[in-house]
Structure formats: C-alpha cells, structure tokens
Structure 1
Amino acid sequence: MALLLDADPDEAAVRAYLKTADILVANHNTAIIGIAVLTHQDGGFELRNIAVHNAHQGKGIAKQLISEIKTLAKNKGATTLEVGTGNSSLGQLALYQKCGFRLHSIDKNFFANYEPIFENGIRCIDMVRLRAKL
C-alpha cells in the first residue's frame, strides 16, 4: 500500500479502486519494488496508479510495468489506455510519452481543492490526461 500512496495519497480512493482492479507487481528477491494498477470503468481502461521504489527507479521497471499493463488491457478488449497525472509531474509526463502515450485532455483545477502539492517548483493544479492506442 505504501508504494501506491506515493503516487496517490488518497488512501480511501486507493482502497476503493483496488477492489475491482488488476494489479501487477515487480519483485526483487522477496520485496515488492514496483506496482501498477489497471482499472476498467465507464467503458474505458486506465493505468490508475504506478509506482517504483526510489532505490529502483531509473532501471526500466516502470516502462516494463507499463508495457505489461498495456498488454493486459489489450487482452481484456481495450483499444486505448488512459493515464492521468499532475501538470507538475514532469518526470511522469516524460515517461508516459516515452511509453507511447500522447496528450489527450486537461481536467482544469482537478487538484485545486486538495492539500497543495509542489513538484519541480510548480504547483499541481490540473490533471493532464494521456492516451495510448493499443
């Protein structure tokens, strides 16, 4: 759960979507070092959460998890996969685009009423949605 909360600090929301989600994990020895969550609702598939332990970042683990999530979604009948991230999450925006996602839409002020989050000196206010064709 701790890794998931790194990417989405709303524990109640995480627990709610985990009930019906598909979960993939990356292991090192006996430890979970990465996790990705696929949800299906409203006729669409979403990479709802992905996180890799800090000590294992930059080793291609997130890219591998995304590749496997895309395959899983396609096998479940998806033709596209969506992911959302904050406007200030520059590393995540780069990662998703490297993995074949393209900018799709912006949910303006999505995070405006949450506890302020700053990344890269930028306040996270908007949700940037990306979409990949499968």
Structure 2
Amino acid sequence: MELLFNEINQLSNEHYSLLLDADPSKKLVDDYTYRGLTYEVLLNETLVGVVVLLPTRPETLEIVNVAVHPNYQKQGIGQKIILFAIGYAKRNNYRSIEIGTGSTSLGQLYLYQKMDFRITGVDTDFFLHHYSEEIMENGLVLKDMIRLRLDI
C-alpha cells in the first residue's frame, strides 16, 4: 500500500470532515492547522487521512491531529502516518515527537505505545475545559488527555 503525503495550505470540506472526526472542536482545529504543517494522505488519489504537525518547543514536534477515513481504518494507515511524522521529525532534526490522546482512546493508546511512544503525563480534565460538548468514547465520558513522547 503506497501512500502519498502532500502538504496543504488550504483545507477542503473533506479535510475538515476528517480532522473534526478526530477533534470535534473547529476552533482548535483552525488554530493548530493555521500554526502547524498539514498533510493530506492519499491512496490511489483518494483522500484517506490527514495529519497535522506542530513544532511546540525547541527540538520537539507534536502530532496534534491524525485522522483516517472510517472506510480505511484498521488497515495500518494510522501507523504509516505516524511513521511519516517520525521520519519528518528525524529529517528536520527534532529530538522528540509528542502526541496526546484521550484517556478513553484505547486503540490509539495501544498503537502509540506499540510504536514505542511512552506516557509522559496526564492533562486532567483537558476535554472538560476545552470542549463545550461532552465527548463520549467507548461508552465513557472523555475527561483526560494522555500525553506520550518518543525520543528520536
């Protein structure tokens, strides 16, 4: 499966739809896509994913959004997107890459730890403070963000 990663500067409705599936706050999505680097992920010219990378501190790059179209999930695309982000970080001399995910995001937590990311902290009540609507995931109210880092 050969994926093509294209940096984009303008979000289409299709890009927004994917990004908002992963992060339901349009305000936050607009903020970090404005400040970060956004890549669309294509498979045979079909949009299958989006990733947003944001330099946060010296030598640190954060993956602030990674989204895979529901029809293409559970096919290894998320892992390939994370590998793309790690490769980008290495090529651009970052020393660590970070990612945050919901405490109820069990599949994502498994994937990131499988890829050697380590839990570095918990932002308690992050989703209660930053989102106006309650988020339900895996039958639980999402409250906390788990922070993970990979040193490269």
Aligned to 1:96: 112
Are 2:139 and 1:121 aligned?
A: yes
Inter-partner Cα distance in structure 1 for 2:116 and 2:81: 13
Residues 1-46 of structure 1: CA deviation (Å, up to 9, x unaligned): 1101111111122112112322233212332111111101233310
Task: Provide the identity percentage.
Answer: 40
Gaps of 5+ in 1: none
Aligned to 1:42: 57
- Range that drifts further, 34-43 or 88-97: 34-43
Report the aligned-residue RMSD.
1.3
Inter-partner Cα distance in structure 2 for 1:101 and 1:23: 21
Q: Which of 40, 44, 67 matches 1:51?
A: 67
Are 2:47 and 1:32 aligned?
A: yes
Inter-partner Cα distance in structure 2 for 1:71 and 1:48: 16
Aligned length: 134
1:66-105 correspondence to structure 2 within 5 Å: 66-105=82-121
Inter-partner Cα distance in structure 1 for 2:100 and 2:92: 20
TM-score, length-normalised on structure 2? 0.82
Are 2:151 and 1:133 aligned?
A: yes
Inter-partner Cα distance in structure 2 for 1:100 and 1:25: 24
Gaps of 5+ in 2: 1-15
Are 2:25 and 1:10 aligned?
A: yes
TM-score, length-normalised on structure 1? 0.92
Partner amino acid, structure 2, of 1:46? E
